[in-house]
């Protein structure tokens, strides 16, 4: 008991105010509850991870694609302008096919209608297969109850190739800091329909650069909204009026933006919208930004909308 008390003494400054005023016994009770909650949570996470890996194993062994050619890059039809610009990494041609909607957000026609339709069919085929095999479809992230992770059913290699062949050439010159050295991705679709998910809250992506391509369908509303690029330190600050704008989707059209460009999706008012999202990441960028185990001392970087000149980290 004596040693626990001395532990408690050393922890005192880190305990919440309301716990500090409790008796030693109550403090011990509070701490053991906290620890067992933490253990339960950890066990649940481990079990979920195991189940996820097992599901991926079954999918890899048993899932039969609907459109086999989508699993090879040459099976994806991109628009002529896009493929021509990218083929020779011709910056003038790449610039020419891009529309800069507002600072840092670019659009261009990327995927043919046929590839968009086939991707939607493949996702629905996979979801039906999961249902028939009583497997849970993993959702892209905590914000979506619908949609699917494309990397889960065999599209990871082709999406990696897509990132290297098509996204990297654009991001290299569009985003001189964050757009370099993309080396991994999270590829998924988001899906909206009345009665299901209808919008997406304000957030930043876990990516250096994001490509968002509208695959379908027929819908109204659901515009993307943007509210300025921010670093970790400034992510909760108010946007300036000039940083706020909406962007309408069009089937086949892709939107490039940095992951730290705060955004979301407005309410869908009718129909069905499904978009392909590639969160492209750079381990090199992440390492360069990290500050030991935390980001609290990192100075505000130049790409942040609130950058105000060089500062000294302390």
Ligand X SMILES: O=C(O)CCC(=O)C(=O)O
Taking CB under 6 A as the criterion, the residue among 79, 107, 275, 282 binding ligand X is 275
Number of residues that bind ligand X (CB under 6 A): 9
**Residue 208 within binding range of Fe ion, rule CB under 5 A:** no
User: Rounded to whole angstroms, what are the CA distances from 314 to 71, 78, 230, 291, 298?
Assistant: 48, 48, 20, 11, 8
**Residue 200 within binding range of ligand X, rule CB under 6 A:** yes
Select 205 or 243, whichever has its Cβ closest to Fe ion.
Answer: 205
Gap between the Cα atoms of 203 and 205, Å rounded: 7
Select 97 or 200, whichever has its Cβ closest to ligand X.
Answer: 200
Select 160 or 205, whichever has its Cβ closest to Fe ion.
Answer: 205
Q: Which residues contact 47 (CB under 8 A, 6 or more apart)?
A: none
* Of residues 127, 271, 255, the one with CA closest to residue 195: 271
Which ranges of the chain would DSSP assign to H, the alpha helix?
A: 2-11, 17-20, 24-62, 80-87, 91-97, 113-132, 156-162, 168-174, 283-289
* Of residues 265, 257, 249, 253, the one with CA closest to residue 115: 253
Residue 212 touches which of Fe ion, ligand X, none (CB < 5 to 8 A by kind)?
ligand X
Select 83 or 199, whichever has its Cβ closest to ligand X.
Answer: 199
**Closest separation in Å from C-beta 25 to ligand X:** 47
Residue 275 touches which of ligand X, Fe ion, none (CB < 5 to 8 A by kind)?
ligand X
Task: Kindly tell me the burial class for residue 112, based on how many C-beta atoms sit within 10 Å of its own C-beta (0-12, 13-18, 19 or more).
Answer: middle
**Residue 189 within binding range of ligand X, rule CB under 6 A:** no
Taking residues 289 to 308 in sequence order and writing x for each that binds Fe ion by CB under 5 A, - otherwise, the string is --------------------
**Residue 277 within binding range of ligand X, rule CB under 6 A:** yes
**Closest separation in Å from C-beta 287 to ligand X:** 23
Select 129 or 254, whichever has its Cβ closest to ligand X.
Answer: 254
* Of residues 150, 87, 91, the one with CA closest to residue 118: 150
The answer to whether 5 and 24 are in contact (CB under 8 A) is yes
Residue 135 touches which of Fe ion, ligand X, none (CB < 5 to 8 A by kind)?
none
Taking CB under 5 A as the criterion, the residue among 109, 152, 205, 243 binding Fe ion is 205
Cβ neighbours, 10 Å, residue 248: 14
User: Rounded to whole angstroms, what are the CA distances from 30 to 8, 37, 75?
Assistant: 11, 11, 58
Can you give the binding site for ligand X, defined by CB under 6 A? Answer: 190, 200, 205, 212, 224, 263, 265, 275, 277
- Which residues of this protein are in contact with Fe ion, per CB under 5 A? 205
């Amino acid at each position: 008991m004596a040693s626990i008390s001395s532990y408690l003494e050393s922890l005192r400054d880190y305990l919440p105010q309301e716990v500090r005023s409790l008796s030693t016994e109550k403090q011990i009770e509070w701490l053991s509850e906290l620890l067992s909650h933490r253990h339960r949570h950890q066990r649940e996470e481990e079990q979920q991870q195991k189940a996820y890996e097992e599901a991926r194993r079954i999918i890899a062994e048993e899932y039969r694609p609907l459109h086999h050619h989508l699993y090879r890059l040459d099976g994806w039809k991109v628009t002529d302008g896009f493929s021509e610009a990218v083929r020779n990494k011709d910056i003038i041609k790449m610039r020419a096919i891009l529309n800069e909607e507002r600072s840092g957000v670019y659009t261009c026609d990327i995927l043919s209608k046929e590839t968009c339709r086939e991707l939607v069919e493949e996702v629905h085929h996979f979801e039906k297969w999961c249902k028939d095999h009583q497997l849970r479809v993993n959702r892209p992230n905590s914000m979506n109850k619908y949609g699917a992770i494309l990397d889960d059913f065999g599209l990871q290699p082709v999406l990696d190739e897509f990132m290297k062949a098509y996204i990297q050439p654009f991001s290299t010159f569009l985003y001189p800091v964050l757009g370099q050295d993309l080396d991994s991705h999270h590829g998924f679709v988001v899906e909206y329909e009345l009665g299901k998910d209808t919008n997406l809250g304000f957030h930043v992506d876990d990516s250096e650069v994001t490509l968002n391509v509208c695959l379908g369908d027929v819908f109204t509303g659901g515009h993307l909204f943007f509210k300025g690029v921010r670093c970790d330190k400034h992510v909760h600050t108010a946007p300036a009026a000039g940083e706020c704008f909406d962007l309408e989707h069009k089937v086949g059209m892709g939107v490039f933006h940095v992951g730290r460009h705060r955004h979301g999706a407005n309410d869908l008012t009718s129909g069905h919208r499904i978009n392909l999202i590639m969160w492209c990441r750079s381990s090199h960028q992440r390492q360069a930004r990290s500050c030991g185990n935390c980001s609290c001392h990192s100075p505000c970087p130049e790409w942040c909308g609130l950058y105000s000149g060089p500062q000294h980290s302390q």
